[in-house]
A and B are shown apart, each in its own frame.
Chain A
């Protein structure tokens, strides 16, 4: 057997023919797999697919079906809450790409989200005597809401690529503060502090998403419509991110994170990789910001602050660093946990629901739990909810021989 390393290197895209290893070409991809052996792959393509086991496929299909049915079962405010989960998942995936995968700690996520929200508002909002708005379709303003923050990320990246670790964290914190100042002052775009402006109009391909629609005899409320739109956007962006992370770029991110010197010696350009991570992450943040204000109903300059960035760090820390599904779990947790706490507040004795009494108010309890959970997860399960899930799955797999 001869190794074709040199040939492949010189030839670039040339395919070494007849290589060993048991792969049989991308063109003839066998559809069947040996029954009952989910880990046996008969082609590299099958091995590299996202849903590479029947279990994963079944789970994903079941989840998607559940997600599609849910709004018909839930009240409108819960539907809205789930929409927020999708949006937080998009933002969380964005932050996980840069901080989880590429290891560049960013406290500046809120800034890029704000940029996205204002880009959307300018291109998709209505013009008033106070603020400018072009009133374009969502098919135009949504991509722009990602692209403009991405371009700004591209501009900031060269500086960010120069500083490391906690220096970078504080540098990006500076972005949030300077950004907040700019947002407050750019009144024709943002409406100014304490005033704000209406977000972009959700009109997609001429269809007003804030209206009610009949669907097979069922009335879709504006919350339902928006839920499905956000779910579709989320699905596309989550799959794209998953693709990215299993590509050479995803590996380069991890390499830069774990050992940047070794990565460079392997031919990974640190500057290019960090810049790319910044740009893509900002794109995701921008989309999340633009969608988030649609749920909120108003864009205000002070919303894009340090605490929003911390929320997203919590999404990835609690969900799971460097996993896409972790980002989604984290988004669910961060968005739904406060609601759960307030539902439980009536049961728990020392929590006050009326103002100014009790040991802690509901909000304070939510916030404290949030902080305490960040600490607990980092100390006890650094892989977050995703890690817990993996543990549970392994336990289940080994059952009944677990202990």
Chain B
């Protein structure tokens, strides 16, 4: 069990009508690994995340997470298996405060029933306070103490991204999916985010898959890279090896020209 990959994707295929978004893609991610998926626009990167987290229903293939098949499960069920996610376009609950967003990340760890919630004493109160403590630790970790009570909708972009990372962390995941964590950020914000990602790996030991356009970041911090183009597997390997792969160069140059 310890040596087995945390996630094994085999022959994953997703079609929308006549278009094939993911075409028989296979890869696996080991525990503790920082795995990156790259590729030009429309390569099917986000679609893979959507399949993994249960938002899309792939037509074929298998996705085994910690020994459990993910296909056919609902998103909330997959989340409970220990998968968390950041979204490409921030999907925070904008009418709630930072604190409430992070507490939502703790949803599955709050164990009390409806009746207890109505009375808000005993178990419910205890559970809320215990989990609040966990959330406060994450707030410290991400250095967002000052905006604890701010409505998320009012925050600047960079902070929203950080709150979203915090919300995903609050779920205490075994696997964290990062969909373009630094897209649209300036250099400084990007470096902050990179530092948080590395800290998450070293301090918390969370396995991560990252979809990213910033090639520099990917090459700097990823352990292995999967390259996709038009939903098809092009290359897979450590950053240095992938960078020099002719098929990859062709795919990227083709896009650039």
A residues near B (Cβ < 8 Å) are: 1-6, 8-10, 12-13, 15-16, 19-23, 25-26, 44-45, 48, 240-241, 243-244, 246-252, 254-255, 258-259, 261-270, 276, 280, 322
CB distance from B23 to the nearest CB of A (A): 24
What residues of A have a CB within 8 angstroms of the CB of B109 in the complex? 8-9, 12
**Considering the chains assembled together, what is the distance between the CA atoms of A257 and B84 in angstroms?**
20
Does B85 lie within 8 Å of A244, measured CB to CB?
no
With known contacts A254-B96, A258-B94, A2–B203 Cβ distance under 8 A: yes
Residue of A nearest to B115 (CB): A240
CB distance from A387 to the nearest CB of B (A): 13
Does A243 lie within 8 Å of B133, measured CB to CB?
no
**Considering the chains assembled together, what is the distance between the CA atoms of A16 and B84 in angstroms?**
21
With known contacts A12-B111, A48-B128, A251-B96, A264–B79 Cβ distance under 8 A: yes
What residues of B have a CB within 8 angstroms of the CB of A240 in the complex? 118-119
Tell me whether B117 is interfacial, beta carbon within 8 Å. Answer: yes
What residues of A have a CB within 8 angstroms of the CB of B108 in the complex? 267
What residues of B have a CB within 8 angstroms of the CB of A250 in the complex? 117
Does A254 lie within 8 Å of B93, measured CB to CB?
yes
Tell me whether B183 is interfacial, beta carbon within 8 Å. Answer: no
Does A44 lie within 8 Å of B129, measured CB to CB?
yes
Does A267 lie within 8 Å of B107, measured CB to CB?
yes
Q: Main SS of chain B's interface residues?
A: helix
Partner of A21, one of B103, B118, B128, B140: B140
With known contacts A15-B130, A267-B171, A5–B117 Cβ distance under 8 A: no
The 8 A CB mask of B114-125 against A (1 = contact, 0 = none) is 100111100011
With known contacts A3-B141, A16-B134, A21-B136, A258–B93 Cβ distance under 8 A: yes
Does B133 lie within 8 Å of A266, measured CB to CB?
no
When A and B form their complex, what is the total count of cross-chain residue pairs whose Cβ atoms lie within 8 Å?
A: 168
What residues of B have a CB within 8 angstroms of the CB of A266 in the complex? 76, 79, 84, 104-105, 107, 167, 171
**Considering the chains assembled together, what is the distance between the CA atoms of A263 and B105 in angstroms?**
9
Does A16 lie within 8 Å of B138, measured CB to CB?
no
**Considering the chains assembled together, what is the distance between the CA atoms of A267 and B77 in angstroms?**
6
Does A254 lie within 8 Å of B119, measured CB to CB?
no
A-B contact pairs, 20 of them (CB 8 A): A3-B203, A5-B138, A8-B109, A9-B171, A12-B109, A16-B130, A19-B134, A20-B136, A23-B129, A25-B129, A26-B126, A44-B133, A243-B117, A251-B104, A255-B93, A255-B104, A264-B76, A265-B54, A266-B79, A266-B105
What residues of B have a CB within 8 angstroms of the CB of A254 in the complex? 93, 95-96, 100
CB distance from B241 to the nearest CB of A (A): 32
What residues of A have a CB within 8 angstroms of the CB of B127 in the complex? 13
**Considering the chains assembled together, what is the distance between the CA atoms of A365 and B131 in angstroms?**
53
**Considering the chains assembled together, what is the distance between the CA atoms of A1 and B141 in angstroms?**
9
**Considering the chains assembled together, what is the distance between the CA atoms of A49 and B138 in angstroms?**
22
CB distance from B97 to the nearest CB of A (A): 10
Does B93 lie within 8 Å of A5, measured CB to CB?
no
What residues of B have a CB within 8 angstroms of the CB of A259 in the complex? 91-93
Does A262 lie within 8 Å of B87, measured CB to CB?
yes
Given contacts A252-B107, A265-B75, A266-B84, 15 further A-B pairs with CB under 8 A are A1-B137, A13-B130, A16-B134, A21-B137, A21-B139, A23-B132, A243-B120, A244-B114, A244-B118, A246-B120, A251-B103, A254-B93, A255-B104, A258-B95, A262-B93
**Considering the chains assembled together, what is the distance between the CA atoms of A259 and B128 in angstroms?**
23
Does B133 lie within 8 Å of A16, measured CB to CB?
yes
What residues of A have a CB within 8 angstroms of the CB of B132 in the complex? 23, 44, 48
The 4 A-B residue pairs whose C-beta atoms are closest, nearest first, are A9-B172, A21-B136, A267-B79, A243-B120
Does B55 lie within 8 Å of A5, measured CB to CB?
no
**Considering the chains assembled together, what is the distance between the CA atoms of A48 and B126 in angstroms?**
11
Tell me whether B110 is interfacial, beta carbon within 8 Å. Answer: yes
